[in-house]
């Protein structure tokens, strides 16, 4: 059962309590269980400050998108979007889809969702040759659960396998989504984005 279905299971919390009680009986030397990649991604992504909406069908995706627009008052705004499929899918919300990066938010797909650090893997397929700092400060990313990978290396392999005749350039990751967070040494120089993830279950 995937993480998202477990979260919707009313008995999940009681089952988890029983598991934790059982685990407490083990020695401290008992090997730590490896988290499933979907659960690890969710933990790391949220820990990075990302916000995601899990959806089981396209109707829920549209509802989630509408809620994001409502929450941020993003109706009747310019939207930077180079993906024609997405601009058609999200037509009907009174938005102006444009190739101008000086827009209220960036609507895009992605290459992969990286579990071990909760990052989003992007390439020139999504951002052309733009640098992250050139893009709007607000992102709405559409992805599917089948795009979750364990590591960046696995995501790069997927790009290579899917693009046998053409390997996209400008491959980058973004994993800092807390715009209000005070920068420390480790995050200095990173490009912070206010990011929403619309995640569609397709497994």
The answer as to CATH 3.40.50.10420 being correct for domain 33-177+192-200 is: yes
The CB density around residue 187, as the number of other CB atoms within 10 Å, is 13
pLDDT at 10: 46
Which of 64, 129, 74 shows the shortest CA–CA distance to 106? 74
> How many angstroms separate the CA atoms of 99 and 184, rounded?
33
pLDDT at 188: 42
| pLDDT tens-digit map of 25-54 | 444 555 556 789 999 999 999 999 999 999
> How many angstroms separate the CA atoms of 52 and 8, rounded?
15
- What are the strands of the beta sheet with 112-114, ordered from one edge? 148-149, 112-114, 119-122, 172-174
Burial class (CB in 10 A: 0-12, 13-18, 19+), 173: middle
Do 138 and 105 touch, CB atoms closer than 8 A? Answer: yes
Tens-level pLDDT at each residue, the chain (203 residues)? 455 554 444 454 445 544 554 444 444 555 556 789 999 999 999 999 999 999 999 999 999 999 999 999 999 999 999 999 999 999 989 999 999 999 999 999 999 999 999 999 999 999 999 999 999 999 999 999 999 999 999 999 999 888 767 788 899 999 999 876 554 434 444 578 999 999 999 98
> How many angstroms separate the CA atoms of 22 and 191, rounded?
42
pLDDT at 181: 56
Do 123 and 170 touch, CB atoms closer than 8 A? Answer: yes
DSSP 70-127: HHHT-TT-EEE---HHHHHHTTTSS-EEES-SSSSEEEE--SEEETTTTEEEE-HHHH
Domain map of the chain by residue range?
33-177+192-200
The model's pTM is 0.81
pLDDT at 113: 98
């Amino acid at each position: 059962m995937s993480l998202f279905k477990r979260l919707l299971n009313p008995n999940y919390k009681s089952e988890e309590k029983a598991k934790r009680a059982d685990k407490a009986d083990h020695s401290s030397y008992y090997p730590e269980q490896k988290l499933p990649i979907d659960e690890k991604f969710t933990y790391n992504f949220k820990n990075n400050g990302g916000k995601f909406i899990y959806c089981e069908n396209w109707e829920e995706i549209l509802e989630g998108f509408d809620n994001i627009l409502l929450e941020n008052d993003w109706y009747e705004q310019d939207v930077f979007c180079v993906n024609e499929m997405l601009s058609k899918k999200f037509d009907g919300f009174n938005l102006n889809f444009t190739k101008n990066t000086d827009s209220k938010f960036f609507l895009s797909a992605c290459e992969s969702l990286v579990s071990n650090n909760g990052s989003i893997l992007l390439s020139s397929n999504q951002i052309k040759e733009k640098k992250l700092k050139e893009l709007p400060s607000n992102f709405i990313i559409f992805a599917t659960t089948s795009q979750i990978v364990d590591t960046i290396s696995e995501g790069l392999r997927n790009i290579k396998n899917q693009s046998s005749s053409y390997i996209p350039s400008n491959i980058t990751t973004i994993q800092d989504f807390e715009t209000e967070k005070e920068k420390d040494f480790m995050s200095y120089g990173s490009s912070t984005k206010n990011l929403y993830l619309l995640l569609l279950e397709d497994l």
